[in-house]
Amino acid sequence: MLSFHCTSEILHTPFINKLLCRFITNYRSPPDYSHVVFPLWDKRKLPLLPKNPNAQSNTKPRKMPKRVIDIRGPELVHNKLIHKQFGVQALLGGNLTYGHIESSRLKINRKMDTNKMFAIWRIDAPWKPITKKPVGSRMGGGKGNIHHYVTPVKANRIILEMGGTVEFEDVYWMLKIVAHNLPFRARVVTQKMLEEEVALKQKLKEDNINPFSFDYAVHNNMLGCQPQLSKYDYIWNNEYR
């Protein structure tokens, strides 16, 4: 006669174990937002930047030369994330006009949720004057009048930052639109991405067994390469133009 005192043996059979595993779900632990510091309520959105710099009384706006060096080479100061979360980084140098800045501000402020997100600028308001002569004017006559103002940006410069109690997937689509509409190549970055790039660059430098680097070849004038290079090739080792 069949006995029912073997309940524990029945539950530990392979068939029952496989059946019970179907109802078990492994949820990942929630992210830690203890390091997030929110600004004040009225400062969580991107502020409106002035179109022109404040003019001084009884003085004419000052004209400036082109100064291509303002957009040439890498950014050495504002190339890291302050809030250690997400942002938009420039890959090449260029000039940001007021239209680019205002377009980015409207796209972010209209889509973001201020209850769990915030955004800050990492660039200055337009300050560099760009001159232009009227159409059809003759050559000569000195420098033209100021037409508009721009913000020079170098490579690796952080344009804006976003943060809050959100994950990367929640802000990626907003930052991607901003990066796509800038006048130069840009990308969406995270703190983890920047840290991995620095570690990879350091690892490649340590594991490199080739003694003939670009810096070594230039400073030793190998194959007579020095006359063909500019002074910026000595400084940036041919990484930036």
> Is residue 238 situated within a structural domain?
no
pLDDT at 215: 87
> Is residue 72 situated within a structural domain?
yes
> Is residue 56 situated within a structural domain?
no
The three state secondary structure string of the chain is: CCCCCCHHHHHCCHHHHHHHHCCCCCCCCCCCCCCCCCCCHHHCCCCCCCCCCCCCCCCCCCCCCCCHHHHCCECCCCCCCCCCCEEEEECCCEEEEHHHHHHHHHHHHHHCCCCCEEEEECCCCCCEEEEECCCCCCCCCCCCEEEEEEEEECECCEEEEEEECCCHHHHHHHHHHHHHCCCCCEEEEEHHHHHHHHHHHHHHHHHCCCCCCHHHHHHCCHHHCHHHCCHHHHHHCCCCC
10 has a pLDDT exceeding 60: no
1 has a pLDDT exceeding 50: no
pLDDT band, residue 52 (cuts 50/70/90): very high
CATH code where residue 164 lies: 3.90.1170.10
Query: Percentage of the chain with pLDDT > 70?
Result: 88
> Is residue 163 situated within a structural domain?
yes
The whole domain housing 186 covers 34-47+64-134+143-209
3 has a pLDDT exceeding 60: no
What is the per-residue pLDDT across 175-192, written as a single tens digit (0 to 9) for each? 999 999 999 999 999 999
Query: Percentage of the chain with pLDDT > 90?
Result: 61
Region 204-220 average pLDDT:
88
How many structural domains are present in the chain? 1
